[in-house]
Amino acid sequence: MKIVILTGAGVSAESGLGTFRDKGGVWTKYDLQEVATPEGFARNPEKVIDFYNMRRRNAAGAKPNAAHFALARLQAEYRHEVALITQNVDSLHEAAGSEAIHMHGAHGQARCTTCDARWTAPLVMSLEDTCPECSATTTRPDVVWFGEVPLYLPEIAEHLHTADLFVAIGTSGTVYPAAGFVAEATGAGARTVELNLEPSNVAGQFDDVILGPATETVPAWVDQVLQAD
Ligand code: APR
């Protein structure tokens, strides 16, 4: 029984990291066209670098919560495969001991737009940073911006097509392609479950919806899966 999990900002909310679209969320305070698009970066790279420096600094003090730890326990103890795909650019899944596929990149990583090298970003990135491979001063946060293609899509498609159970946790179902994963997994014959604070935009497409804070719903759901394993 292969399980494929998709997480979003809601899984990190109780670690103190803001979500994007809830009341007070990141996109209610910042114009995403300015700070999260290639065009915004071309117009004002300093503003974009500063935005990700701020987000990286906030995340540096954050600790994984009970939901991250429960998912790591599931990956360690479940007898079959558990693929964990995240839209989050924080590293809280890894801090809890999970291996996650970061489809929207990671703000702890920097990338060179000249030679495509990737490396651990300094806590404070600067436009003067040089690439460790080719020395160009063309570095950017290794995150996927709106209008860019998410990472690892072939690998993710393979997981979705071989899933027996697809579970989405803490994501509003607004941003594609991730919002379409439930339909893909359903098409491949998987049962589907949503765990979210409130019904997402695509809640109607899931077989089951479990509402509540991730730190409560995820550990309870993991216990149930491991007991039935
Ligand atoms: N527990 C569970 N769910 C929660 C919690 C919580 N404690 N707090 C909030 N949520 C839910 C909200 O109800 C909402 O549906 O998490 C969801 C967060 O939604 P978004 O802010 O839209 O975040 P996400 O779905 O991850 O955004 C997708 O959009 O801006 C881009 O690239 C960015 O990866 C991000 C993508």
Q: What integer is the mean pLDDT of 187-200? A: 98
Residue 141 makes CB contacts below 8 A (sequence gap 6+) with 48, 49, 52, 56, 105, 107, 109, 110, 111, 121, 125
Using 50, 70 and 90 to split pLDDT, how confident is the model at 59? very high
The CA 129 to ligand 1 mean position distance, Å, reads 32
State the pLDDT at residue 80.
Answer: 97
Is the CB–ligand 1 distance for residue 25 below 6 Å?
A: yes
Considering the chain, what percentage of its residues have pLDDT values greater than 70? 100
- Asked if 143 and 89 count as a contact pair (C-beta separation under 8 A), the reply is yes
Is the CB–ligand 1 distance for residue 55 below 6 Å?
A: no
As assigned by CATH, the class of the 1-16+64-104+150-229 domain is: alpha beta
Question: Of the listed 104, 107, 159, 161, which one is catalytic?
Answer: 104
State the pLDDT at residue 27.
Answer: 95
| 104 noted as active-site residue | yes
- DSSP conformation letters of 98-116: ---EETTEEEEEEEETTT-
For the domain spanning 18-61+109-143, the CATH number is 3.30.1600.10
Using 50, 70 and 90 to split pLDDT, how confident is the model at 156? very high
Q: How do the domains of the chain map onto residue ranges?
A: 1-16+64-104+150-229, 18-61+109-143
The CA 22 to ligand 1 mean position distance, Å, reads 7
State the pLDDT at residue 170.
Answer: 98
State the pLDDT at residue 73.
Answer: 98
CA atoms of 163 and 190, how far apart (whole Å): 6
Using 50, 70 and 90 to split pLDDT, how confident is the model at 132? very high
Is the CB–ligand 1 distance for residue 174 below 6 Å?
A: yes
